[in-house]
Amino acid sequence: MRRKLVAANWKMNGSSAANAQWIAAWRSVASTCDTVVCAPFVYLPQVGAGLAGTGTDLGAQNLSEQAPGAFTGEVAGEMLLDVGCRWVIVGHSERRAMYGETNELVAKKAARAIALGLRPIVCVGETLSERDAGRTLDVVAAQVAAVLAQCSVAKLAAGALAYEPVWAIGTGRTATPAQAQEVQAAIRAQLAAADATAAQQLRILYGGSVKPGNAAELFAQPDIDGGLIGGASLVAADFAAICAAAK
Residues in region 29-48 near ligand PGA by CB under 6 A: none
Alpha carbon distances (Å) from 64 to 76, 94, 105, 151, 171:
5, 16, 10, 16, 28
Q: Which of 123, 169, 165, 117 has its CA nearest to residue 144?
A: 123
Name the segment binding ligand PGA (CB under 6 A); options: 19-27, 129-137, 188-196, 203-211: 203-211
**Is 169 or 195 the residue whose CB approaches ligand PGA more closely?**
169
Query: Does 229 contact ligand PGA by CB under 6 A?
Result: yes
Using CB positions, name the residue nearest to ligand PGA.
Answer: 230
How many distinct helices (H) and strands (E) make up the chain? 12, 8
**Distance, CA of 163 to CA of 204 (rounded, Å):** 7
Query: Does 207 contact ligand PGA by CB under 6 A?
Result: yes
Identified catalytic residue from 92, 101, 126, 130: 92
Query: What is the nearest approach in angstroms of ligand PGA to the Cβ of residue 49?
Result: 24
Helix runs in 86-203, H state only: 93-98, 103-116, 128-132, 136-148, 153-156, 177-194, 196-201
- 3-state DSSP assignment of residue 195: coil
**Distance, CA of 20 to CA of 26 (rounded, Å):** 10
The reply to whether 65 belongs to the active site is no
Query: What is the nearest approach in angstroms of ligand PGA to the Cβ of residue 234?
Result: 9
- Vertex 242: Cα angle to 239 and 244 (nearest 5): 110
**Is 117 or 170 the residue whose CB approaches ligand PGA more closely?**
170
Q: Which of 208, 221, 236, 246 binds ligand PGA (CB under 6 A)?
A: 208
**Distance, CA of 105 to CA of 65 (rounded, Å):** 7
Identified catalytic residue from 65, 94, 126, 164: 164
The reply to whether 217 belongs to the active site is no
**Distance, CA of 4 to CA of 32 (rounded, Å):** 9
String marking each residue 148-177 x if it binds ligand PGA according to CB under 6 A: ----------------x----xx-------
Query: Does 210 contact ligand PGA by CB under 6 A?
Result: yes
**Is 65 or 94 the residue whose CB approaches ligand PGA more closely?**
94
Query: Does 230 contact ligand PGA by CB under 6 A?
Result: yes
Query: What is the nearest approach in angstroms of ligand PGA to the Cβ of residue 32?
Result: 21
Q: Which residues sit at the interface with ligand PGA, rule CB under 6 A?
A: 9, 164, 169-170, 207-210, 228-232
Report the catalytic residues: 92, 164
